């Protein structure tokens, strides 16, 4: 099994709506061989992945890719940090200096990037 297949990504802001970027991100992550967890504001299913309304517990997360506004992030900063991901990707519109600074202090790599672009370039 390759490293890609073992890497687990949490899509925070997942949606069943095909017009949402997070919907496409789940699809592309799965297509690229990543294991995906999905958390959104409403329960549902996206590309066969159950959307939870709560952050997971006892999961080893490699990457959290954000699709939620900074105001919502601020309500869950502690829980995000406690997941101890290796990396957080701040997709366009999700940039949050507070979360970024707290995460960096905990040794979490923070990237201001677009998950879809990173995947398309093979740089995820």
pLDDT digit string, tens, across residues 45-103: 999 999 999 999 989 999 999 999 999 999 999 999 999 999 999 999 999 999 999 99
Q: What would the two tokens of residue 27 be?
A: 């699809």
Quick one: average pLDDT of 102-121? 97
Task: Kindly report the backbone phi and psi dihedral angles of residue 27, in degrees, each rounded to the nearest multiple of 5, phi listed first.
Answer: -60, -50
- CATH annotation of 3-120: 3.40.50.720
Residue ranges covered by each domain of the chain: 3-120
Q: How far is CA 5 from CA 31, 45, 62, 76, 95, in A?
A: 11, 21, 11, 28, 28
């Amino acid at each position: 099994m390759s490293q890609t297949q073992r890497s687990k990504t949490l899509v925070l802001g997942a949606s069943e709506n095909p017009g949402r970027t997070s919907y496409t991100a789940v699809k592309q992550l799965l297509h690229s061989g990543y294991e995906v967890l999905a958390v959104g504001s409403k329960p549902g299913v996206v590309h066969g992945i159950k959307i939870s309304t709560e952050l997971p517990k006892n999961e080893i997360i490699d990457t959290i890719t954000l699709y939620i506004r900074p105001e919502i992030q601020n309500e869950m900063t502690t829980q995000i940090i406690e997941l101890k991901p290796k990396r957080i990707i701040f997709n366009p519109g999700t940039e949050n200096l507070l979360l970024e600074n707290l995460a960096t202090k905990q040794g979490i790599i923070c990237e201001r990037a677009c998950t879809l672009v990173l995947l398309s370039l093979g740089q995820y």
